Structure 1
Amino acid sequence: MNRRNFLASAATIATVTALAAGTQRPGTARAETAAPARPAAMPGWRQFEIVTRVSLLDAPGAAQLWLPLAQTAGGYQTVLETRCQGTGQARVVRDAQYGAEVLKMSWDAGSAGPRSAELVQRVATRDRDGHDPAVPVTLAERRFWTRPTESVQTDGIVRDTAERITAGLDEPRARLRAIYDWVVDHTTRDPETPGCGFGDVRGMLESGRLSGKCADINGLMTGLARAAGFPARDVYGVRVAGSRQFRTLGASGDVSRAQHCRSEVFLEDAGWFPLDPADVRKVMLEQRLALDSAGIRALRETLFGSWEMNWVGYNSATDIILPGAMGNQKPNFAFLMYPCAFTANGQPDCLDPVHFRYGIEAREIAV
């Protein structure tokens, strides 16, 4: 993997070069995801350092730690460097469906001493404005990103809702805008929802309770778009800097609880088109603004086609299966946006960084 430089201190990093040279999967990045060779030197690009530190407490016997790795994607984000040190055996793996890169650190049953890891990632980003040159998707990619998954169903009530929203509309962007507006108008943010939510699209529609957080609201956006025939996907990541738009849309320093999921939908004339209806609802709740207020009207327009890149994306692996997971266990949620661990005592709660003992820090690097 020539885009990453892995340095080991107390860990052995086994990079699996066959992964980089292997067959292209529909879910993995193609040529359109290649960022410029020197993004940090070009106008509009920013650099961030993200440091994740994890200690597994009360974890006798065999154990595994899984950490999501930032992706290079879409000409708006590129990974410059990744370093890891820790007390276990570490390697980079990819899940079989999406090709999402994950750092896996393992300890065998006889391992002595502390079980800890530190992951440092340096990433460059630039804002997305929805005007990148459109690169066609292949037929295989179109099928992959319109297919249903366990969490994102596209038949029954999901299909019926999408058809009702887009009835009488033929132009693709108008149909997509109708879905986006429907999601903004009909959902609410629930601050009591655990983490970023669960992203159960069918369950939300069947219950009529269209509330939650970003994985729920943007997951609904993705599911309805797929049901309407658009290739669509969630992108899971973390906020790493303050926002120029609203204070509540930024985070810096300790970002252990700043995970955020976004949505993007493929349009023939625009390529992968960025969306974030969940952040409209987040600002409404936390800034106490009405749906028809000037600030929300403006934000609603902005988030149909742009992402402020004070955020770093990891992957789009909904219903991810971690390769070689102990006991074939799955993460607490249907995505890998938080540190995940499996131990002889079970799976620590990824939403409890105090007792799981992990911290994520982010800072901008002057270039």
Structure 2
Amino acid sequence: MQRRDFIKLAGGAWLLSQVPSGWARETPADEGWRKFRLTYTVNLLPQGSNAYLWLPIPQSIKDYQQASAPRSTGAADEAGFVRMANAPAFYAHWNDATARNITVTAEVATRDRTADLQRSHSSPAELDDAMLNYLPPTDSMPLDGIVRSTALAATKGAISPLEKARAIYDWVVDNTFREPKVKGCGRGDIKAMLETGNLGGKCADINSLFVGLCRASGIPAREVYGIRIAESRQFKSLGRSGDVSRAQHCRAEFYLADVGWIPVDAADVRKAVLEEKLPLDDPGIVALRERLFGGWEMNWVAFNHARNVALGPRHKASFFMYPCAEIAGEQSDSLNPESFAYRVEASAQVG
């Protein structure tokens, strides 16, 4: 190895030769699984000292996503695969203004996810984690005031946690709309959405609203940040392949004791309504609405659940779904792949 070929690792990082927990040694070959390759190509500007790079990486999750240990090529003073706020990531640091070219490749297998409400997928440890980490308020998601009053109104007449979650999902689908002018995936500022009465936004806004209303109703819930990697079998607007640099997508889950995490995606219902130019009562939208309460089409891979992540000396991300970089103390624009500069590509793998 030469001096810059990943001979140093960030504190707490995993060695590149290891296969840490969260990554499978082999992708499965069972019926229903599809294999994909996700590739980041990053060329940071060779100017200014102290450049940092963070890339979100897929991980294995239960019975619907299996990720192999990622690989990287390039040169940096310090680099490796790490966990940032419990989110798997690739990290690199350059001391001086040198060539900053990195390629990171991850292979992942997915299969469509459908919740089974008749069988337990939970454990005491998972329940404790849900109650501890995905029920309290956060700085960006207060659960009192207008959030609490909206949750009470949305769940009026609902008794069980499942009934309340479904009522919240329906309220969000019925009352929000996708706003194409919002940058990226939105900010997820649900208090501002409710106080202004402007319930338009993108996936991180709409699905964060579902999460916040669930938590305000006593139901653990969380966002799931990831990226689309293949065309959709449902609607064209819900898929992407090839260049997926702008295909990041936030989903959501809520937790039921004795069942486990239940997938939902109110934002994709509103996306299909807008981009397919269909009303909410169109039969195809009605069917999609039912599928996305308790199921996900896995033409998408999950990265993490991380909100308000402190990545570097001056870098804090509202959520860790995009590549992030900092050069000479200035944050690069993660929402502009061309100026950053990065490219994310997804391709299906055979065999």
Report the TM-score when normalising by structure 1.
0.87
Match of 2:240 in 1: 251
| Residue 51 (structure 2) aligned to one of 48, 60, 63 | 63
- Counterparts of 1:150 and 1:206 in 2: how far apart (Å)? 16
Q: CA deviation at 1:106?
A: 0.1
- Counting strand residues as a fraction of each chain, which structure ranks higher? 2
Q: CA RMSD in A?
A: 2.3
Aligned pair in 2 of structure 1 residues 76, 8: CA closer, same or farther (>3 Å)? Answer: farther
| Residue 261 (structure 1) aligned to one of 206, 230, 250 | 250
Letter in 2 for 1:124: A
Asked whether 1:355 is paired with 2:349, we answer no
Alignment of 1:28-177 (within 5 A): 39-57=27-45, 59-88=47-76, 89-95=78-84, 98-109=85-96, 113-131=98-116, 133-136=120-123, 137-177=126-166
Q: Provide Cα deviations, 1:192-233, integer angstroms capped at 9, x if missing partner.
A: 000000001111111110010000001111111111111111
Aligned pair in 2 of structure 1 residues 52, 38: CA closer, same or farther (>3 Å)? Answer: closer
Asked whether 1:232 is paired with 2:231, we answer no
Structure 1 counterpart SS, 2:270: helix
| Residue 329 (structure 1) aligned to one of 289, 292, 315 | 315
- Counterparts of 2:111 and 2:2 in 1: how far apart (Å)? 29
8 Å Cα contact 2:134/2:221 also seen in 1: yes
- Counterparts of 1:43 and 1:133 in 2: how far apart (Å)? 22
- Counterparts of 1:13 and 1:101 in 2: how far apart (Å)? 20
| Residue 6 (structure 2) aligned to one of 9, 12, 31 | 12
- Counterparts of 1:354 and 1:215 in 2: how far apart (Å)? 22
- Counterparts of 2:66 and 2:144 in 1: how far apart (Å)? 35
Q: CA deviation at 1:37?
A: 7.6
Structure 2 counterpart SS, 1:222: helix
8 Å Cα contact 1:162/1:227 also seen in 2: yes
Alignment of 1:237-316 (within 5 A): 237-316=226-305
Q: CA deviation at 1:129?
A: 0.6
8 Å Cα contact 2:53/2:325 also seen in 1: yes
8 Å Cα contact 1:79/1:122 also seen in 2: yes
- Counterparts of 1:349 and 1:243 in 2: how far apart (Å)? 28
Structure 2 counterpart SS, 1:224: helix
Letter in 2 for 1:125: T
- Counterparts of 1:176 and 1:336 in 2: how far apart (Å)? 25
8 Å Cα contact 1:276/1:303 also seen in 2: yes
Letter in 2 for 1:121: A
8 Å Cα contact 2:56/2:89 also seen in 1: yes
Q: CA deviation at 1:91?
A: 1.8
8 Å Cα contact 1:39/1:45 also seen in 2: no
8 Å Cα contact 1:149/1:319 also seen in 2: no
- Counterparts of 2:241 and 2:182 in 1: how far apart (Å)? 22
- Counterparts of 2:94 and 2:280 in 1: how far apart (Å)? 51
Structure 1 counterpart SS, 2:153: helix
| Residue 218 (structure 1) aligned to one of 207, 223, 241 | 207
Q: Provide Cα deviations, 1:71-127, integer angstroms capped at 9, x if missing partner.
A: 2113211211300112212122223xx411111100013x5x311111100011111
Letter in 1 for 2:67: V
